[in-house]
Each structure stands twice: as C-alpha cells, then as structure tokens.
C-alpha cells in the first residue's frame, strides 16, 4: 500500500501534465465531435459514409500495412546484422540506426524529396545513364510516402526484433546444427520461429506509430496521397469543418487505442503468446 502511495507521489507530476496537456484537450475534441455544428452523432455518420473520407481511411490502412511489412522485413535484416555481425558491421549498423534519430523528421522528408523528385538524384542518374527518357514519378504519390515512412520507422522495428534475437540461446542453434541441420533450415525452422514474438511486437509498434503520421505523408505525398492525420489538418485549417475533423480524430484515437491494447497484451511478460 505504501509502495503504491510512493509511486503515485513520484508519478504525480507526469500524470498531471498528461491530464492537462493531453486528456483535457482530447475531451474538448470529443465534445466538438458531438456538438458541432449541432448536437448528435451526425458527424460520425458523415465520416463513415462520405466516400472521400472512407477512401482516406482505406489509403491510410493500405499504406500503413505496406510500410509495416517493409519496415519489419528490413528491420529484421538490420537486427540480424546488428546482433550477429562482425565488430565492424555491428558498429556501422549501430551508427545507421542511431544517427537518423538526431535528424528532424522534416529534414528527412525534404531529403527524400531531393532524392526522389523529378530533378532529384535518382531521376537525373537514370536519365544521365540513358535508362529513361522521362523522369519517373517517385514522389508526390503513395510510393514517395511509403519510402519516407519506411525509412523513418525501420529503427523502431529493429529494437524489439534485436532484443528477441539476443534472448535466443545460442546453444539451441548449436543443437540444431549438431543434428545435421543446414543454415537455411536452422533459420526458417528454429531461429525465425523463436524470434517471432519480437517480430509481432515490432509490427504492432510500427503499425500503431504509422497510422498517425503527418509530416512525412504531407511533404512526400504532395497533397495527392492524403492520410488520416493530414485529412484532419485540412478539415480544421482549410475547410473549417471542426465537427467532422473532431469525429475523424476520435475514430483514429479509438483505432490506435485498440492496437495499443493488443501491443500491451503481447508485451506483458508471463502472458507470452
């Protein structure tokens, strides 16, 4: 009991900050969603029946699913290199994971813009090499958004996967080898299944994170590949429709909360699988 009281005292300031900065404003948004422009659930009906908004929801889910698969696959490879690579490979991998953390998301999005745009690095190389006559449309579309988001999210996939890989007992792999299993069999039938909980955790984490992305899709999508967060922004700042924006926000919040609950259940020790 005293332990709980002490924890509450220590956590108190954080809880108060969260309440003031997060929960109170969210309650305000919840109120807007059922009162603007008139009381009722009309905005939710509108949000879930408007084909334009529904298409944004579907696009968001599609992009996030693709980004999750790409980030987790790439993250698995990076984690393998980080955990099992030689000393030099390990150091380089570590740098490549941590350096992006110090660079702002805005800078990284503009970086991709300058690489992928019509007169960017990729297109000018390809044109210079005579491989293409017209620049490829690599940005201001879903492709650009997926590239930018995947790049941002790979490190977040690496951590849970690497920690799962580190907890694999090396003797289990030795045992498999001693029984005559080759490298491919050991990877697919022993190592991958043993690290699967980490992969699932990484997938949920990346997916939840990606749903709310705003800056990267806004810059690399160029307004043509709008995702939910950008839709909310547009409905508040460009076509003042606060009630609808609030309703979409609440729907987004509920979806994320659902996935977070799933993630927490996965991560809770003692409840493995």
Partner 1 sequence: MPTPQAAELTARSIRKEFGEFVALDDVSLTIGRGAFVTLLGPSGSGKTTFLMVLAGFLPPTAGEVHQDGRDITALPPEARGFGMVFQGYALFPHMTVAENIAFPLKVSRRSGAEIRRRVAEMIEMVGLSGHGHKRPAALSGGQQQRVALARALACEPAVLLLDEPFSALDKNLRGQMQDEVRRLHREIGTTFVFVTHDQSEALALSSTVAIFDHGRLQQAGGPQEVYERPANRFVAEFLGDINILPISGAEAQGGVGHGRFEGRAIRASCGAAGATAALAVRPEHMRLELGEPAGGNAIPLSVTDLTYMGAETRLHLVSGGGTPVILSVPTAAMPAAVTPGAAVWAAWAEDRGFFL
Point out which residues bind partner 1 (CB under 8 A): 169, 171-172, 174-182, 185, 189-190, 193-194, 196
Q: HSE on the CB side for 24, CA within 13 Å?
A: 7
CA distance 227 to 210: 10
Cβ closer to partner 1: 7 or 189? 189
Least distance between partner 1 and beta carbon 190 (Å) = 6
Write down the H helix ranges in the chain.
Answer: 2-18, 24-35, 42-49, 51-84, 87-98, 105-116, 121-128, 142-166, 170-178, 183-185, 192-211, 215-221, 228-237, 242-267
Least distance between partner 1 and beta carbon 97 (Å) = 27
CA distance 192 to 46: 45
Least distance between partner 1 and beta carbon 86 (Å) = 17
Cβ closer to partner 1: 13 or 180? 180
Q: HSE on the CB side for 48, CA within 13 Å?
A: 8
CA distance 206 to 201: 9
Least distance between partner 1 and beta carbon 261 (Å) = 25
Cβ closer to partner 1: 13 or 269? 269
Let me know: does 231 contact 4? Beta carbons within 8 Å.
Answer: no
Least distance between partner 1 and beta carbon 203 (Å) = 18
Rounded to 10°, the helix 42-49/242-267 angle is: 80
Least distance between partner 1 and beta carbon 160 (Å) = 17
Cβ closer to partner 1: 15 or 175? 175
**Residue carrying structure tokens 């929801």:** 57
Q: 10 Å Cβ neighbour count for 65?
A: 13
Cβ closer to partner 1: 131 or 179? 179
Least distance between partner 1 and beta carbon 89 (Å) = 21
Cβ closer to partner 1: 161 or 211? 161
Largest CA distance in the chain: 74
Let me know: does 76 contact 199? Beta carbons within 8 Å.
Answer: yes
Cβ closer to partner 1: 134 or 169? 169
């Amino acid at each position: 009991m005293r332990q709980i009281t002490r924890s509450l005292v220590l956590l108190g300031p954080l809880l108060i900050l969260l309440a003031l900065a997060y929960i109170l404003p969210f309650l305000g948004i919840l109120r807007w969603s059922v009162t603007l422009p008139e009381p009722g659930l009309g905005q939710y009906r509108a949000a879930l029946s408007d084909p334009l908004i529904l298409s944004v929801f579907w696009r968001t889910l599609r992009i996030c699913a693709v980004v999750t698969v790409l980030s987790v696959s790439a993250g698995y490879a990076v984690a393998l290199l980080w955990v099992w690579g030689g000393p030099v490979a390990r150091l380089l991998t570590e740098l490549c994971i941590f350096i992006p953390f110090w660079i702002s998301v805005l800078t990284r999005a503009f970086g991709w813009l300058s690489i992928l745009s019509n007169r960017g690095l990729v297109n000018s190389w390809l044109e210079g090499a005579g491989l293409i006559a017209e620049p490829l449309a690599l940005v201001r579309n879903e492709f650009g958004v997926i590239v930018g988001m995947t790049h941002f999210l790979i490190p977040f996939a690496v951590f849970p996967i690497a920690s799962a890989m580190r907890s694999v007992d090396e003797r289990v792999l030795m045992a498999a080898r001693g029984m005559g299993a080759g490298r491919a069999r050991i990877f697919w039938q022993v190592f991958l299944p043993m690290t699967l909980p980490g992969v699932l955790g990484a997938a949920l984490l990346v997916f939840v994170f990606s749903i709310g992305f705003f800056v990267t899709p806004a810059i690399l999508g160029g307004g043509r590949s709008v995702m939910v967060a950008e839709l909310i922004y547009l409905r508040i700042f460009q076509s003042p429709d606060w009630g609808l924006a609030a309703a979409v926000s609440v729907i987004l919040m509920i979806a994320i909360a659902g996935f977070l609950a799933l993630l927490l259940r996965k991560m809770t020790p003692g409840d493995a699988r």
